[in-house]
Chain A
């Protein structure tokens, strides 16, 4: 009777361990399935961009041929000639402006961009311009500091 109980306990223990393992594995699979893969861009972290309401995810479509330079020029013109730090083709999501499309994200030198608010003047540490790959027009510029 005692031996049987020990066996039952051993089986129960194995079941518990297996369940925990399966739960952890399923959790990791679920997380990787629901969290979009982000596209890094020089000059600003994904966390800072997310705080500003923008995420750059893996593009849904192919990179448009020959459009990179055009997008860079459009972003630079929009930003008043600021120097370019990086340019990535990504799926750009900015719910605040109803942007949810593949676009060019261009990171630029934020020197001179600053807050207009009531506190002491604060310089921007990032400047990103999103460019529509079809029209070649800037969708929005975002600058700031966390």
Chain B
């Protein structure tokens, strides 16, 4: 009974959302960390357990808030990513997304993992294909990519300035067991990335360990 109550309370906290009160503008803002490749090889895998949080999402065009782990080519912007998102309709998904050779993108949407849980989101690149996993299950593979990148990112993102970033100051969204994979040996190691905060007056982050950090929207407590 106590466990059930605790679980419900935990889920309730993760489900909390608040309007940060910012004016609306479409764009793309991130907070999290970026991982450069080790000397002499690329990163071809990226994984993290990400707390599923239900943020406030401003109702407008091209609008969602998401948390993901990603492989990216910093020069061509070709990429693959897997994580979860909440749209302005209120609908939440687990999602995968890959750039295409034609300069477009292809996104797949799946039933979201439970709010308040911390599923593992993992992407690997091999045999010229992105392989996407949630909690160890291969949910999608994209072979139609033009990917040739080397770095990883593990971040939260808002698509409108009026939307809430994942988390509140008293209810951070934690990225844990965050690792990346060397392409030469296929060994996984702690991501220990360099922090990125594209709007420090709106968002904040806290390093926890070499494989863990948390993020939140500064305008929101929970």
Contact = CB atoms under 8 A, between A and B. Distances in A.
Partners in one complex: yes
B140 interface: yes
| Interface residues of A, dominant DSSP | loop
B157 to A, nearest CB: 6
Nearest to A114: B62
Nearest to B105: A115
Nearest to B109: A141
Contacts of B106: 51-53, 142, 144
Interface in A94-146: 95-97, 111-119, 121-124, 138, 140-146
B100 A142 contact: no
Nearest to A79: B91
B89 A113 contact: no
Contacts of B79: 117-118
B25 to A, nearest CB: 12
Give the size category of A's interface with B: 20 to 34
B127 to A, nearest CB: 13
B184 to A, nearest CB: 25
A41 B139 CA distance: 24
Contacts of A138: 111
B81 A97 contact: no
Contacts of A116: 64, 66, 68, 81, 85, 95, 97, 107, 157, 159
Interface of B: 26-28, 61-64, 66, 68, 72, 77, 79, 81, 85, 87-91, 93, 95, 97, 99-100, 102, 104-111, 139-144, 157, 159
Interface of A: 51-53, 78-81, 95-97, 111-119, 121-124, 138, 140-146
Given A116-B159, A122-B104, 19 more contacts: A53-B143, A80-B91, A81-B89, A96-B108, A111-B61, A112-B61, A112-B88, A114-B62, A114-B159, A115-B97, A115-B105, A117-B72, A117-B97, A118-B72, A142-B106, A142-B108, A143-B107, A144-B106, A146-B104
